[in-house]
């Protein structure tokens, strides 16, 4: 078991398996993309599996495959199948924009995927294209419907609302759960990278807007995920709605996660660039015990909390979100 310097058990790893993406969401990636890592800098799947095996030996049980867009990388379903086979791995979930998901669903089911988080910020085709700069709503929606229908794992829909862009869509997005067994979750926009340029809609405000349409919200104590979402039931919706209010309700005291970037850097907190490079020692032939010790030593430095909304001079993360897995 890995415990950090503040007594938190670390058992969840978010893996960014690529920094590339087929979309350019306004709050995440610049229009012309970001300079991608050269091919050799990106971890090969064997290297990723080796690091995941070491992590699971240290007590990491849950893995989230993310990016960039994980489904633009060839071989992702096979990688997920291999990851699921590692001893000690209890859960592997995927975060995707859904553009390429539909045809891969059978393979992902076969691989044993334990959960799908589909990111979707608008139900208006034009607005979806405007906000993602190049995506199409139809394939994402078709994938959402098919994933719910196949029903091999829970499906969550992640939405980031921004004032003046899609802030009016909370009821329409939550309303998907009138007919689909989907957990709709509203993620507060975080002031990271391009996210600093837009105005978030605080979770409490989203909840008020939902209550105005669906009726009173009832807190739901069910444990629907590994993360910090707080869930409420609304009349007429098949599943509770989740709120992830990283900024207005800090949940750092229960943070159980670390992150691995596509080029093999272990990161400890979204807001800080503190961490260490695991890929170089791995490629230089370090033993698994040496890498494990490096991970333990790094985890011991995990910051106590993020400081969004405060001035942070040192170690502030300057990456865009696609590089650190969301
Ligand atoms: N491409 C995949 C996707 O969109 O689901 C996986 C990577 S993406 C970086 C993961 C999640 O991070 C998405 O749900 C996205 O909306 C969210 N995200 C990106 N930038 C954000 C920000 N500044 N604040 C809050 N969430 C953000
Ligand atoms: Fe790509 Fe996901 Fe970032 Fe949108 S949020 S640009 S889909 S990585």
Ligand 1 pocket test: which of 160, 190, 257, 319 has the largest number of ligand atoms within 8 Å of its C-beta? 160
Distance 96 CA to ligand 2 centre (A): 8
Distance 290 CA to ligand 1 centre (A): 33
Decide whether any atom of ligand 1 lies within 6 Å of the 56 Cβ. Answer: no
Neighbours of 269 (CB within 10 A): 23
Neighbours of 10 (CB within 10 A): 22
Q: What would the pLDDT profile of 129-159 be if each residue is shown by its tens digit?
A: 999 999 999 999 999 999 999 999 999 999 9
Paired tokens of 176: 């998907």
> If you average pLDDT over every residue of the chain, what do you get?
91
Q: Which residue has the tokens 């992150």?
A: 259
Distance 51 CA to ligand 2 centre (A): 25
User: What average pLDDT score do residues 267-271 get?
Assistant: 80
Q: Determine the 3-state secondary structure of 301 from DSSP.
A: coil
Q: If pLDDT is split at 50, 70 and 90, which confidence band does 87 have?
A: very high
CA distance 229 to 38: 35
Taking CA atoms, 44 is separated from 18, 123, 267, 296, 316, in Å, by 10, 36, 18, 23, 28
pTM, entire model = 0.92
117-148 burial code (b ≥16 CB/10 A, e <16): bbbbbbbeeeebeebbeebebebbbebbbebb
Contact 232, 218 (CB under 8 A): yes
Residue nearest to ligand 1 atom 18, measured at CA: 326
CA distance 96 to 76: 12
Decide whether any atom of ligand 2 lies within 6 Å of the 20 Cβ. Answer: no
Distance 32 CA to ligand 2 centre (A): 13
The set of residues, in sequence order, having a beta carbon less than 8 Å from that of 155 and lying 6+ positions away, is 115, 116, 118, 144, 147, 148, 180, 181, 182, 183
Decide whether any atom of ligand 2 lies within 6 Å of the 29 Cβ. Answer: yes
Q: What is the DSSP string of 40-68?
A: GGSPPHHHHHHHHHHHHHTT--EEEEESS
Q: Where are the domains of the chain?
A: 2-324
Contact 246, 228 (CB under 8 A): yes
Decide whether any atom of ligand 2 lies within 6 Å of the 165 Cβ. Answer: no
Decide whether any atom of ligand 1 lies within 6 Å of the 132 Cβ. Answer: no
Task: Say what the pLDDT of residue 59 is.
Answer: 95
Distance 147 CA to ligand 2 centre (A): 20
> What percentage of the chain has pLDDT greater than the value 90?
75
Task: Say what the pLDDT of residue 185 is.
Answer: 97
Residue 268 is classified by DSSP as S
Distance 288 CA to ligand 1 centre (A): 32
Task: Say what the pLDDT of residue 85 is.
Answer: 97
Decide whether any atom of ligand 2 lies within 6 Å of the 68 Cβ. Answer: yes
> Which ligand lies nearest the alpha carbon of 116?
1
> What's the fold here for domain 2-324?
TIM Barrel (3.20.20)
User: What average pLDDT score do residues 262-274 get?
Assistant: 84
CA distance 316 to 192: 10
Q: Write out the H or E segment, with its range, that includes residue 218.
A: strand 218-220
> Which ligand lies nearest the alpha carbon of 308?
1
Q: What would the pLDDT profile of 24-63 be if each residue is shown by its tens digit?
A: 999 999 998 777 777 888 999 999 999 999 999 999 999 9
CA distance 228 to 242: 9
Task: Say what the pLDDT of residue 317 is.
Answer: 55
Q: If pLDDT is split at 50, 70 and 90, which confidence band does 269 have?
A: confident
Distance 14 CA to ligand 1 centre (A): 12
* pLDDT for residue 263 is more than 80: yes
> Which ligand lies nearest the alpha carbon of 201?
1
Task: Say what the pLDDT of residue 214 is.
Answer: 98
Q: What would the pLDDT profile of 189-210 be if each residue is shown by its tens digit?
A: 998 889 999 999 999 999 999 9
């Amino acid at each position: 078991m890995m415990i950090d310097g503040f007594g938190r058990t670390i058992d969840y790893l978010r893996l960014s398996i690529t920094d590339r993406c087929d979309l350019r969401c306004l709050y995440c990636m610049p229009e012309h993309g970001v300079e991608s890592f050269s091919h050799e800098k990106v971890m090969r799947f064997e290297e990723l599996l080796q690091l995941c095996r070491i992590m699971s030996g240290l007590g990491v049980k849950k893995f989230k495959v993310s990016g960039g867009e994980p489904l633009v990388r060839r071989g992702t379903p096979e990688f997920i199948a291999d990851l699921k086979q590692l001893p000690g791995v209890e859960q592997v979930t995927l975060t995707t924009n859904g553009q390429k998901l539909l045809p891969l669903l059978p393979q992902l089911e076969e691989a044993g995927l334990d959960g799908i988080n589909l990111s979707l910020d608008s139900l208006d085709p034009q607005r979806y294209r405007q906000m993602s700069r190049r995506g199409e709503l139809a394939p994402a929606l078709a994938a959402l419907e098919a994933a719910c229908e196949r029903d091999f794992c829970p499906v969550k829909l992640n939405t980031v609302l921004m004032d003046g862009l899609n802030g009016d869509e909370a009821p329409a997005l939550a309303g998907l759960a009138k007919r689909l067994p989907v957990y709709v979750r509203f993620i507060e926009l975080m002031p990271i990278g391009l996210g600093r340029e837009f105005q978030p809609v605080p979770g409490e405000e989203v909840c008020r807007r939902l209550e105005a349409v669906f009726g009173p919200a009832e807190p739901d104590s069910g444990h629907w995920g590994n993360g910090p979402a707080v869930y409420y039931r609304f009349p007429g919706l098949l599943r509770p709605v989740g709120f992830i209010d990283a900024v207005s309700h800090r949940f750092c005291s229960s943070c159980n996660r670390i992150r691995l970037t596509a080029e093999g850097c272990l990161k400890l907190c979204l807001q800080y660039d503190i961490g260490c490079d695991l890929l170089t020692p791995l490629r230089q032939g370090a033993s698994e015990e040496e890498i494990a010790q490096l991970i333990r030593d790094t985890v011991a430095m995990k910051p106590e909390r993020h400081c969004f909304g405060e001035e942070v001079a040192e170690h502030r993360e300057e990456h865009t979100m696609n590089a650190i897995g969301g």
